[in-house]
Structure 1
Amino acid sequence: MPIILATALAVGVLIGGYLNFSGPGRGFASNANRSKLNKLIELIESEYVDDINTDSIVDLTVNGILEKLDPHSVYIAKSEMEQVAQSMKGDFVGIGVNFYMYNDTVAIIKPIENGPSEIAGLKSGDRILYAGKTKLFGRKLPTDSLFSKLKGEEGSKVNLTIYRKSENRKFNVAVTRGVVPIKSVDIAIMLDKETGYVKINRFAETTYKEFHNGLLGLKKQGATQLIVDVRNNGGGYMEMAADIADEFLKDDELIVKTKNKKGNIDETLATEAGNFETGKVYVLINENTASASEILAGALQDNDRGTVVGRRSFGKGLVQKEMPLGDGSAVRLTVARYYTPSGRSIQKPYTNGTDDYFSDFEKRFVSGELFAADSIKVADSLKFKTKKGRIVYGGGGIIPDVFVPIEGSHGDEALGMLMQSGLMSYFVFEQLDKDRKSFRNLTFPQMVQKLNATDVYFNNFKSYVSRSGLVFNLDSQKAVVKRYIAAEFSRQLFDENKYFQMVLKEDVMVKKVLGKK
């Protein structure tokens, strides 16, 4: 069963943060070198004793070249481009369901609210047996194959054969494909009468619009201070981070500047627009906050507009340009460095190679900096001043104004990632699938009471994790595990708001901002 833990965050940082410039890319250093590579590929294709997929050789060559540059200059294969582009675009055309393969059958975890499937009457727990005449069960189809059967042109129809376990019946339904959003702003809710909270998971094409709408909604509800959560946000479009920073900064305040190989400097300044130029702002960061997220945090910190809370961020200060390679693949090449308003580069060193670069969490853990602010190494030579003269440092991430240590041990951090992974989602689905009727008419408080009154689901989850081949001491974090189980039940039975209400009430960084113990 697939589960995304620490590696996923590294990958998110690797490909998440880039600035999409326009214009043609440069070629190889010389025609002679280009001809040499082309000649070698031709010779292998025509003369080599065994049949070789030369496309794969080209991919290896490109990756080998990029590995000599920096950790963020990456190759995106043709097979990966659609998914990457879709994520950054912020939507796709499909039937609008969250699903996974359960016992070789496509099981709907939950239809997306107001999406094509919900409109067509599909429900959580439904199995999709056929898409048209294509059998989807009992075949162990890879996810990309399933997507290809369910996606299509906007307005087109797909005839689905559904089995509804709760009613023990099979039926056919035509679903009209539509545009399905991929949210980059998870939630925008009020935590108390005056505090709004916004969680941004990446910076895609739609992020500013999502954030703007959420911010206006929170202001209408009375928000006079705001928490912007970019923990575990690997980045994305720099323009989106700048537009969000503009909501808080006054006209002509510097947001970010970039400098390329030729020494050309581009500055991004705040405009007259801005819907939250007064009122307290807090930015939550951690060791997996990177790139565009660091631009936002750095802009508010250096302009003394916001308080940065958490732990030192990842430290990505490089700007990538995406360039197509003509065959559906692309390369993201580092073309500039960015600097915060005070003039600091927050790019951490990468001279020891990519593996060392992305295993920085281990070094931070061992050094103690995840537990104590005074363990963070700073260089006096990289000392800068904010607008009001406060000292800040460059050289490797944004250092928070208010430090919040990581909870517990290294294993506890992995546990937190487990709690927010697909494994928890699948577990709760399967528990509901056994007896969905017993939850059907419960109110939210009744559901919470039902779950808290027993250890059955906690014990079932321990067994589920063990069967997945993972080793965790869940008994030592029983209260945390039960809270996340209840939160995921809330998400699948109710909505995202209920999920975050349960998770955030015990969040240590949020409690720090709100002055709670």
Structure 2
Amino acid sequence: MKIKKKYTPLLFAIGIVLGIMLGSKLNFGQADGGLFSSNAKKEKLNRLIDYIDYEYVDAVDTDSIVDVTVNGILDNLDPHSVYIPKDELQDIEESMKGDFVGIGISFYPYKDSIAVIQAIEGGPSHRAGIKGGDRIVYADNIPLFGGSISDDSLSSILKGKINTPVTLKVKRDGVDDLITFDVKRGRVPLSSVVAAYMLTDKMGYVKINRFAESTHDEFIIAVKKLQRLGATQLTLDLRDNPGGYISSAEKIADEFLEEDKLILFTKNKTGKINKTYAEDDGIFEDGEVFILINENSASASEIVAGALQDNDKGLIVGRRSFGKGLVQREMALGDGSAVRLTIARYYTPTGRSIQKSYENGNDAYFQDYKNRYENGELRSIDSIKVADSLMFKTPLGKIVYGGGGIIPDIFVPKNTDYEIEHLNYVLRQGLMSRFVFDVLEKDRPYYNKLTEEQFKNEVVVTDKIVLDFISFAQYRQINLRARAYMAEYKRYLKATMAQQLFGNTAFERMVNEDDAMLNKIREITN
């Protein structure tokens, strides 16, 4: 299918589902009375389902009817009250928990075998010595080649109960015989702090891609490491971060704010207000901080940015954030599925609600990016529409606005060139990652021997590699005009190679070499 020119980030609508702020999980019992007491409205729905089950002329999957009904009800509430089917719930919960139990590899089905892209750092396979490019051909003598194993079967073979053993037989390029690895399944980290390194002698950089249960612990480890390297300034990158657990956002904000500073407050339908304050000493209270946000920074990301901005801590750099100020709670539906229902609104310390309007329906709500593109606000801060009635003041007198996202203190325009937008789309689809795997496979022993510094200095992405990538994309009916953007494509291709060889920090370090927002921070601090 040919990719049409679009400026709406379609995957963000999916990402925002993963990023909705979770208050706490609520599991209602099945006892009579209370919320599940019988009433005419509930009985009406139950009776209709029974009629279809027992009397309708054709066989009907009533489970699918119930799913449609639940989704229809939630569609009439707000954009962030969502239904999560049973078959999706486990993956989402694993992502938000911050780990899962398994052997810890990312892989491709590749030429009828299972090819390891990377053994996840800190996971069982990484500790056992499995490397990128390895082919797992047997697991407990079960053959994994020939295309006979479905994705579900493969998942059940490689995952399992914690501390259970699995014997893997691996084909490695340059080694004649199969290599046997005895791997004990364990907890595999799904890091939400995806990069941490020094931008300058004094400036540390941390990128968080979502707010999971483990995010605060990961953040503390990353910042302490940077402080040991001399960081007295910190750039916290929350761009394209759709959010996550509200408690994780509160803990991150707390690390920058003095004790008893208000972080946020929530208000439910009865008007009950709950306030959250900073506690004790934070790890970066005394350091200079910059928060990067953009139009895809939402929910928990906006909590952190709003808490710091309203307390006159640091500078917010970038573009107006997404604008989500609703709080959800996950509630089990009794069959393995769940609903995340909006239960409150949250407000920044000055009293701002940053929730944008959803009165025109969900489609218009999630396509707000197109409106921002067309009205020019992605290129100029003067194009952002604000209402004087939603004006607030911080303790030091800075003017801030509610009504739809966090407006940065320092605006950095977006490069809305079509090819650059399209490059970002291609990256999100994983197309470049698949191509790069093929490039590495051509000389895997060489690449696996390189250090990150050697890779940076020795490996050159040629014009031919870029043109091969264009052909690779065209074969999949995606048309690129990369000939006019050779430098950008070379940088991203090399960064993707580094990611597969050395991890996410290597990717971010290379991609950020000419980043407009980071260049602005360098300009401010020099």
Normalising by the smaller structure, the TM-score range is over 0.9
Q: Give the equivalent residue in structure 2 for 1:10.
A: 13
Q: How many residue pairs align between the two structures?
A: 515
Greater Cα offset, 32-41 or 312-321: 32-41
Listed as ranges, the gaps of 5+ residues in structure 1 are none
Contact between 1:90 and 1:184, CA under 8 Å: does it hold in 2?
yes
Cα distance per residue 1:288-327 (max 9 Å; x no partner): 0000000000000011102111011000000001000011
Cα distance per residue 1:321-373 (max 9 Å; x no partner): 10000111000000000000110100011111111111111111111111111
Cα distance per residue 1:136-195 (max 9 Å; x no partner): 333375544422221001111123332324435434433211110000111221111100
Deviation of residue 485 (structure 1)?
A: 1.1
Residue 396 of structure 1 is aligned with which of 390, 398, 404?
404
Query: Taking structure 2 as the reference length, what is the TM-score of the superposition?
Result: 0.93
Residue 405 of structure 1 is aligned with which of 413, 430, 434?
413
CA distance in 1, matches of 2:118, 2:223: 27
The yes-or-no answer on 1:289 pairing with 2:297 is yes
2:381 is matched by which residue type in structure 1? A
CA shift in 2, pair 1:445/1:247, >3 Å:
closer
CA shift in 2, pair 1:21/1:118, >3 Å:
closer
Listed as ranges, the gaps of 5+ residues in structure 2 are 29-33
2:214 is matched by which residue type in structure 1? T
CA distance in 1, matches of 2:37, 2:486: 59
Cα distance per residue 1:406-450 (max 9 Å; x no partner): 114244223124235522222111111122234344454543354
1:17 is matched by which residue type in structure 2? I
Report the secondary structure of 1:60's partner residue: helix
CA distance in 1, matches of 2:170, 2:38: 58
The yes-or-no answer on 1:19 pairing with 2:27 is no
Report the secondary structure of 2:514's partner residue: coil
Cα distance per residue 1:215-244 (max 9 Å; x no partner): 112112111111000101000011111111
CA shift in 2, pair 1:453/1:246, >3 Å:
closer
CA distance in 2, matches of 1:394, 1:142: 49
1:433 is matched by which residue type in structure 2? E
Residue 327 of structure 1 is aligned with which of 329, 335, 340?
335
Q: Give the equivalent residue in structure 2 for 1:43.
A: 51
CA distance in 1, matches of 2:338, 2:385: 37
The yes-or-no answer on 1:368 pairing with 2:376 is yes
CA distance in 2, matches of 1:240, 1:431: 39
5 Å-filtered alignment, 1:67-86, equals 67-86=75-94
The yes-or-no answer on 1:307 pairing with 2:307 is no
1:398 is matched by which residue type in structure 2? I
Deviation of residue 131 (structure 1)?
A: 2.7
Q: Give the equivalent residue in structure 1 for 2:31.
A: none
Cα distance per residue 1:436-487 (max 9 Å; x no partner): 2343444545433544363222122111221222122212221111011111
CA distance in 2, matches of 1:262, 1:131: 56
Residue 63 of structure 2 is aligned with which of 47, 55, 62?
55
Contact between 1:127 and 1:164, CA under 8 Å: does it hold in 2?
yes
CA distance in 2, matches of 1:27, 1:370: 45
CA distance in 2, matches of 1:15, 1:489: 27
CA shift in 2, pair 1:114/1:244, >3 Å:
closer
Q: Give the equivalent residue in structure 1 for 2:285.
A: 277
CA distance in 2, matches of 1:376, 1:144: 47
Q: Give the equivalent residue in structure 2 for 1:204.
A: 212
5 Å-filtered alignment, 1:415-434, equals 415-419=423-427, 421-434=429-442
Cα distance per residue 1:16-72 (max 9 Å; x no partner): 122233555674796111111111111111111111111111111100100000000
CA distance in 1, matches of 2:345, 2:357: 13
CA distance in 2, matches of 1:266, 1:293: 19
Percent of pairs with identical residues = 52
Report the secondary structure of 2:205's partner residue: strand
Contact between 1:318 and 1:347, CA under 8 Å: does it hold in 2?
yes
1:64 is matched by which residue type in structure 2? G
Residue 236 of structure 1 is aligned with which of 222, 230, 244?
244
2:440 is matched by which residue type in structure 1? L
Report the secondary structure of 2:308's partner residue: helix
CA distance in 1, matches of 2:313, 2:292: 14
5 Å-filtered alignment, 1:362-511, equals 362-419=370-427, 421-452=429-460, 454-511=462-519
CA shift in 2, pair 1:29/1:352, >3 Å:
farther
Contact between 1:246 and 1:270, CA under 8 Å: does it hold in 2?
yes
Report the secondary structure of 1:219's partner residue: helix
2:116 is matched by which residue type in structure 1? I
CA distance in 2, matches of 1:171, 1:323: 46
Q: Give the equivalent residue in structure 1 for 2:175.
A: 167
Contact between 2:322 and 2:404, CA under 8 Å: does it hold in 1?
yes
Deviation of residue 380 (structure 1)?
A: 1.1
The yes-or-no answer on 1:317 pairing with 2:325 is yes
The yes-or-no answer on 1:95 pairing with 2:103 is yes
2:85 is matched by which residue type in structure 1? A
Q: Give the equivalent residue in structure 1 for 2:145.
A: 137
CA shift in 2, pair 1:104/1:71, >3 Å:
farther
CA shift in 2, pair 1:460/1:450, >3 Å:
farther
Contact between 1:260 and 1:337, CA under 8 Å: does it hold in 2?
yes
CA distance in 2, matches of 1:477, 1:155: 49
Residue 151 of structure 1 is aligned with which of 148, 159, 162?
159
Contact between 1:28 and 1:34, CA under 8 Å: does it hold in 2?
no
Deviation of residue 267 (structure 1)?
A: 0.4
Deviation of residue 390 (structure 1)?
A: 0.9
Root-mean-square deviation (CA, aligned residues, Å) is: 2.2
Contact between 2:23 and 2:247, CA under 8 Å: does it hold in 1?
no
